Amino acid sequence: MLVDDIRLKSCLGGVYEPLEDSMLLAKAVEKHAFGKFLDLGTGTGIQGIVAAKKGCAVTFADIDDKAIECAKANAADNSVTGEFCISDLFDGVTGKFNTIAFNPPYLPDEPELGMVEREYALDGGIGGRELIDRFLSSYASHVEEDHIVLLVESSLNGYETDADLLKAEVTKVHYSFEDIAVLAFK
């Protein structure tokens, strides 16, 4: 598997380190990615690196300049290239894509989950849907006719509803307090 051969530097400054959700998405990227690829919310760049290793033309985008620097370093360490841009969702991104991979902050910002201070890489707002809903209302104008979208969601934010509405193929794994799912849809 391509994902097993990826080398990632530890990034400082709050850049989200790949965990179970990132690995689940990376496997979906390896399976589905093609053509022009957008790694939205790139973090360490793992999704874009996997896509580039498959031969995709990759754009790495993140709202955090530290994440972009981390993704650049990891891309170089893995001998891949791409475009890098700072972007709040699609604000700084140009063009249309065949594949979009997005692992948004999806955990609900609710006191019972113990989230005391807002961590942008994890905090999906009330109900865990703030960025997911923004993404779902805007992605369609950023995809080519032939496309696939790979989106990470959780049982804590009701991925089942989106999966039904989008007629998505769902790959999920259960972790201690939630199911993490990758929705693949066209």
pLDDT digits (tens, 9 = 90+) for 93-129: 999 999 999 999 877 775 554 444 445 556 667 777 9
**Stretch 132-150: mean pLDDT:** 97
Q: How far is CA 134 from CA 11, 77, 87, 93, 153, in A?
A: 27, 33, 14, 15, 14
Q: Phi and psi of 179, rounded to 5°?
A: -100, 130
Q: Would you state the pLDDT for residue 116?
A: 44
- How do 143-154 and 178-185 pair as beta strands? antiparallel
**Stretch 62-82: mean pLDDT:** 95
**How far is the C-alpha of 175 from the C-alpha of 75, rounded, in Å?**
29
**Stretch 64-91: mean pLDDT:** 96
Q: Would you state the pLDDT for residue 117?
A: 45
User: Which alpha helices (DSSP H) does the chain contain, by range?
Assistant: 20-32, 46-53, 65-77, 130-138, 159-166
Q: Structural domain boundaries of the chain?
A: 2-6+17-185
pLDDT digits (tens, 9 = 90+) for 38-66: 999 999 999 999 999 999 999 999 999 99
Handedness of CA 18, 124, 88, 147 (dihedral sign): positive
Per the document, the length of the chain is 186
Assign domain 2-6+17-185 to its CATH architecture: 3-Layer(aba) Sandwich (3.40)
**Stretch 138-142: mean pLDDT:** 98
Q: Whole-number mean pLDDT of the chain? A: 90
Q: Would you state the pLDDT for residue 121?
A: 56
- CA of residue 22 relative to chain centroid, distance: 7
**How far is the C-alpha of 46 from the C-alpha of 58, rounded, in Å?**
11
For residue 59, the surrounding DSSP H or E stretch is strand 57-62
Q: Would you state the pLDDT for residue 28?
A: 98
Name, in order, each residue with C-beta under 8 angstroms of 159's C-beta and a sequence gap of 6 or more: 153, 170, 172, 179, 181, 183
